[in-house]
């Protein structure tokens, strides 16, 4: 079975969030803040979307073996 559209979108969003955290840790550079500004509504919404995507993936992760690796 292939990933659903929602699964793929949330996976990409979480990867972007992880990339941003890597930039923060390595270079003290926050890509989201540099694009949308510090403390702006768009910055906060972006972080909320990334967080919700991570929660969604964490919730469905236990079923990945059944969903995507059926023989």
Instruction: Write out pLDDT tens, residues 47-71.
Output: 999 999 999 999 998 887 766 666 5
Give the residue among 20, 27, 25 at the shortest CA–CA distance from 53: 20
Could you tell me the pTM of the whole model? 0.83
pLDDT over 70, % of the chain: 90
Confidence of residue 29 (pLDDT cuts 50, 70, 90): very high
In contact, 66 and 30? CB cutoff 8 Å? no
The domain limits of the chain are 5-68
Average pLDDT for 10-29: 97
Q: How many CB atoms lie within 10 A of CB 66?
A: 9
- pLDDT at residue 1 tops 70: no
């Amino acid at each position: 079975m292939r990933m659903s559209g929602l699964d793929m979108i949330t996976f990409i969003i979480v990867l972007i969030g992880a990339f941003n955290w890597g930039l923060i840790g390595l270079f003290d550079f926050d890509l989201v803040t540099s694009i949308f500004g510090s403390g702006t509504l768009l910055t906060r919404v972006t972080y909320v979307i990334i967080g919700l995507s991570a929660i969604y993936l964490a919730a469905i992760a236990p079923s990945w073996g059944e969903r995507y690796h059926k023989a």
